[in-house]
Structure 1
Amino acid sequence: MTAPARPRKLAKVPFVELAGGRLQGVVSSGSDIGRVYVSSVAAGTYAFACSTNNNRPCGGARGAFCNHIRALINEAVLQYGAERVARYLKVETAGGEPSAPAVEAGMSGTRPSPAGTKDAAPVFSRFLRHLAYLELVPSAAPLPEMQWFPPTRTAA
């Protein structure tokens, strides 16, 4: 796990990841506290998808990035750094230091196409699994689902 490039607030975009050839994550709704959107952008093709946690398509993602995808890109840049996000998504940025607007502009210039929402469920499921860790009582005891980590060696 890489340390965040800069601290970020989790209220708007509580979950963001570069995985499966996509930038993907969960974005809170601006109008309904009980609704979240699962948004993603594919590397290379910039095909995008945005739908609610109930698999209803986002009304703003019609032929261009919606505000949820823009927020996802901004938070990914805060989390991973603009250079890493641009490299992962295979975005050519116009000279200088890459930034969130430069990454978005590099993708928008290619007229990204909408993608299906078939990959939303696994992203949302991983987000819920991450939330479950927040409810655990702090403990030094091992977590069974984390046992794939190699054991640490103690000095003799």
Structure 2
Amino acid sequence: MPAWEESSTARVVPPARPRKLAKVPFVQLADGRLQGVVSSGSDIGRVYVSSIAAGTFEFACSTNNNRPCGGAHGGYCKHLHALIAEGVVQFGGPRVVRYLRVDTDTAEPDTAEIGRVMAAARPAKAGSSPAASVFARFLNHLEYLEFDAATEPLPDMHWFPTAGAVA
């Protein structure tokens, strides 16, 4: 039995490419959505919580204090495009396509192709906003950055992968 199977750590899928966290500090494939937090281009103190639902491609984009995005009128705003782009960087185009159920013919789809196919498949429409749960997850991840480096176990992070875990 491999050593990682005997530990309480999880295997981590490494990012497809290194990410720059300034524009999209948090992106995940969860709850049937590509979702995350996108920094505002005009206000350093504002972030947008953006999501695209798998299969239906319904989207939501609002600020962290639940004000709707001004650019998401009947189509994907720049925050949603940035989210798709970072999803492709983090998880790879094929994984994003499989998760969102985007029907592409390309083996390595890029951000532009994913957006084009999604727009052609169904006109994008606004859906319900998961902003509170996505933003709460983002804040939970940020809390761990404030811990001092230590070797003692953290009870609430027993599931979290360690540097010694095999990928």
Identity %: 61
Q: Could you list the runs of 4 or more consecutive aligned residues of structure 1 that deviate by over 2 angstroms after TM superposition?
A: 94-97
The correspondence of residues 29-44 of structure 1 with structure 2, limited to 5 A, is: 29-44=40-55
C-alpha distance in 2, partners of 1:23/1:142? 31
Segments of structure 1 that go 5 or more residues without pairing to the other structure are 150-156
Counterpart selection for 1:115 from 100, 116, 127: 127
Matches within 5 A, 1:23-102: 23-102=34-113
Structure 2 residue identity aligned to 1:98: P
Aligned length: 148
Contact 2:35 2:49 in 1 (8 A): yes
Q: Distance in 2 between matches of 1:148 and 1:93?
A: 35
Structure 2 counterpart of 1:130? 141
Q: Tell me the TM-score normalised to structure 1 length.
A: 0.91
Q: Is the 8 A contact 2:38 2:50 kept in 1?
A: yes
RMSD: 1.2
Structure 1 residue matching 2:103: 3-state secondary structure: coil
Greater relative contact order: 1 or 2 (C-alpha under 8 angstroms, separation 6 or more)? 2
Instruction: Give the structure-2-normalised TM-score.
Output: 0.85
Paired with 2:42 and 2:63, the residues of 1 have a C-alpha distance of: 13
Do the aligned residues in 1 keep the contact of 2:93 with 2:111 (CA within 8 Å)? yes
